[in-house]
Structure 1
Amino acid sequence: MRSSVPFLKVYQSFASDHLTIVVGHVLRSPSRQRDRPTKNPFKNALEMYRRYQVKPLAGEKVFLKYGGETLEVITDRKGFFQFEWPTPSGVNTLEMTVALAAFPTESEYLKLEVKRPSEVVVSDIDDTILVSHSTSLARKLYLLLTKNHQSRRAFDGVKDFYDSLSESKAGLLFFYVSSSEWNLYDFLESFVADKQLPGGVFLLQDIKSGILDLFRSGGGSHSHKKSKIDTLMKVYPEAGFTLIGDSGQQDPDIYQAVAFSNPDRICKIYIRDVRKSRRSKVIQMASTLRKSGVDMVFFSE
């Protein structure tokens, strides 16, 4: 039986000396469980189906309390909310409570560390670290419906590459900015942990609801990725940025636009070659970027 009471889902959030951002959803859903590893493809398909049987609740009032302050926002049409405020000066951690106004028992406690990274790594997920076959609908759906986070495959060498990035500089901070929907948050978080990739904050695409949206997973506009990177640059204005993606969809175009707007902020761009038809275009992009002082590395598995 479906619960008639909304529930609050607060995602891993982040804070710098400049800004603090806390994000989440208010949803109604028949299931709230995390990804359950199983070798049964039918059970995996059922779990994935359940992830998309959510009802976002628009117009819900959400409170955030920290210290003596109380902030208030209203969820948008997709049930999403975001708190953004200047970080109090001189603090290293922030303790707060996020609660639903209509159901105060639905609340979450957060303790955020204020991060001061020297460099921020922004990584795509599908076909960058996770083998997804995003350019082939049939193969993409087969993997999405029959595999769990343990049986999905990371590209060879991904762990070593990300480990080398982590070891090369102190104070590195990872963000996974993807066109996968918020429905897949727990799945992707579990995948990254299972493959022993660097922990980070996930910033995903609008939540979706229904079986048709499941079949369209990862599609639509990818413009949200640029706006999220722009936000990160605002939150961490002293940090350099390394951008990692693939040629399957719009990562090269988005990263090129970011680099043209912020050439002094970009340390390096890495693009995985997964789409032969776009190869010459990406090579030309890399050449153009090099002339503006930004190094784009185009590589294959």
Structure 2
Amino acid sequence: MVSYSTVCILLLLFVINVDNRTLSQRYRLRELWNIITDKFKDTATKKFHIDFRHFDKEEMLLFPDIGYQSLNNDSIWKIMMHGWRYERNRRRDWFGFSASLWVERIAKQLLDEKDILYLNGSINRDRLKPFFVEDESNEKIHIKFDEKIFSFLTDSQGQFNEEIEISNDEIQKLKQQQGGSSFITYEAIGDNKDKTTGIIQLIEPRKGISVISDVDDTIKISEVLDKVRLLANTFIYPFKPVPGMAELYQKWRINNNNCTFHYLSGMPDQLYILTHEFIYENKFPDGTFHMRHFGWAATSIFGFLHSQSTFIHKIAYLRYFLSNTMRDYVLVGDSGEKDPEIYGTVAKEYPERVRAIFIRAIKGEAFEDQRFFDAFEGVPREKWLVFNDPQQLPIDLSRSPKATMG
């Protein structure tokens, strides 16, 4: 067994030797540092009965998710819960340099000189910081749902993505207690007794229309086809809405019975808070968020967004929605990524459930471009529509778009 003095010596040697390391080496050594400090905490706890939980600065982020009645038993609700446990880096860490300066230097290492000139040194450090926190893996999270307690362990990325079952009586009781809305809350409790409130959108009634919308270049201008502009629009400039899309979504919500919204994006969930603020400030309908977690195995945001994993992420969520609910779906995306191919695949698998597909053309391509016919081969022509102005889309979602506009 490693003695307390041995651990202290290892800590001292580590701090002395790290001073001359390069920035990239420092980042790689951070994981080793965490292992050593965890060992130090374990040894000190056992030897001196010190509870280090009081000194940890861990936080938790809960992503709004869905709840739906079981297809086989309407007295049971299935609730999806997605959260992220992490620890923020201190302003000045053990290595003796500013964390905010560190994240900016890392970001600029990803760009060449021309890109840096375009960015003009104005990277928003606050937007970068969520990418440089420490994921807290294998941590126990307790979920308090009314009077019931559920416990989960976080995965290697500090995340948990779990499904629980709650009786319909308990759901109706919670709704009544919380004002009768289809949005209900729950509480997540970390190992430091810290508490965070999460939101669940109940998909009710069973019948209705659910709009599943991409975010980047569908409702928010991101310019995903240009690496530098994508970085600038993500980390420098204020998020800008696609003109007219918020108004369209609100008209859909008001004019179509039981219409819910769900934002399905390939962008990192480290940007969730900013994305949620964008939705709120630009008056898009409230909804759930389904994003991906960025890890440093990815070479860049551009590569992350355009990877095969984004295709898999989106199609998996679409299949989950369609296979677990009785609703009809309207799918909205753009031509910058693989949305036409993803939506076409799902529409052929669930031909009676996908009511309409709307694709925003962002590359100046013709609405009758062969790519769209290839992507939607086997999907009735009246079900899909390519647009570049939201006013080209129908308000009534109860029928196929061509029938409505005809």
TM-score under structure 2 length normalisation: 0.64
Find 1:86's aligned residue among 151, 154, 165: 165
Return the structure number with greater strand share.
1
Cα deviations by residue, 1:242-285 (Å, 9 ceiling, x for unpaired): 10001111111111111111111111010111235793211343
In structure 2, the CA distance between the partners of 1:156 and 1:277, relative to structure 1 (3 Å rule), is: closer
Matched positions, count: 285
Find 2:80's aligned residue among 18, 21, 43: 21
Shift of 1:5: 3.1
- Extract unaligned runs of 5+ from structure 2: 1-54, 71-77, 92-119, 176-183, 390-406
**Alignment of 1:285 onto 2:370:** no
Find 1:253's aligned residue among 337, 341, 345: 341
Shift of 1:44: 5.5
In structure 2, the CA distance between the partners of 1:211 and 1:266, relative to structure 1 (3 Å rule), is: closer
- 2:109 aligns with none
Aligned ranges 1:88-237 → 2 under 5 Å: 88-90=167-169, 91-92=171-172, 93=175, 96-100=186-190, 102-104=191-193, 106-110=194-198, 112=200, 114-117=202-205, 118-148=208-238, 152-208=239-295, 213-214=300-301, 216=303, 218-220=305-307, 221-222=309-310, 223-235=312-324, 237=325
Find 1:62's aligned residue among 141, 144, 156: 141
Cα deviations by residue, 1:86-105 (Å, 9 ceiling, x for unpaired): 331233336643112x322x
Query: Which runs of structure 1 show a deviation greater than 4 angstroms over 4 or more consecutive aligned residues?
Result: 41-44, 110-113, 209-217
Q: Once structures 1 and 2 are overlaid, which stretch shifts more, 14-23 or 248-257?
A: 14-23
Shift of 1:198: 0.9
Shift of 1:141: 1.4
Shift of 1:177: 0.3
Contact kept in structure 2, 1:132 and 1:140, CA below 8 Å:
yes
Structure 1 distance, partners of 2:383, 2:137, is 43
Contact kept in structure 1, 2:306 and 2:337, CA below 8 Å:
no
Cα deviations by residue, 1:142-196 (Å, 9 ceiling, x for unpaired): 2222213xxx221122122212211221211100000011110011111111111
Q: What secondary structure sits across from 1:263 in the alignment?
A: coil
Structure 1 distance, partners of 2:90, 2:298, is 15
Contact kept in structure 2, 1:78 and 1:207, CA below 8 Å:
no
Shift of 1:225: 0.8
Q: Once structures 1 and 2 are overlaid, which stretch shifts more, 178-187 or 4-13?
A: 4-13
Larger RCO: Structure 1 or Structure 2 (Cα < 8 Å, ≥ 6 residues apart)?
1
In structure 2, the CA distance between the partners of 1:258 and 1:31, relative to structure 1 (3 Å rule), is: farther
Q: What secondary structure sits across from 1:191 in the alignment?
A: helix
In structure 2, the CA distance between the partners of 1:217 and 1:4, relative to structure 1 (3 Å rule), is: farther
Contact kept in structure 2, 1:180 and 1:218, CA below 8 Å:
yes
Contact kept in structure 1, 2:322 and 2:350, CA below 8 Å:
no
In structure 2, the CA distance between the partners of 1:127 and 1:111, relative to structure 1 (3 Å rule), is: closer
Cα deviations by residue, 1:5-26 (Å, 9 ceiling, x for unpaired): 3222112232122311111101
Q: What secondary structure sits across from 1:288 in the alignment?
A: coil
Structure 2 distance, partners of 1:295, 1:113, is 27
Give, as a single letter, the amino acid of the residue that structure 2 aligns with 1:268.
Answer: A
In structure 2, the CA distance between the partners of 1:4 and 1:214, relative to structure 1 (3 Å rule), is: farther
Structure 2 distance, partners of 1:69, 1:103, is 20
TM-score under structure 1 length normalisation: 0.84
Structure 2 distance, partners of 1:282, 1:127, is 17
Shift of 1:209: 5.4
The alignment's C-alpha RMSD in Å is: 2.8
Q: Between the two proteins, what is the percent identity of the paired residues?
A: 19
Contact kept in structure 2, 1:31 and 1:50, CA below 8 Å:
no
Q: Once structures 1 and 2 are overlaid, which stretch shifts more, 18-27 or 68-77?
A: 68-77
Contact kept in structure 2, 1:49 and 1:214, CA below 8 Å:
no
Give, as a single letter, the amino acid of the residue that structure 2 aligns with 1:15.
Answer: G
Q: Greater CA radius of gyration, 1 or 2?
A: 2
Give, as a single letter, the amino acid of the residue that structure 2 aligns with 1:274.
Answer: I
In structure 2, the CA distance between the partners of 1:183 and 1:156, relative to structure 1 (3 Å rule), is: same
**Alignment of 1:297 onto 2:385:** yes
Shift of 1:131: 0.9
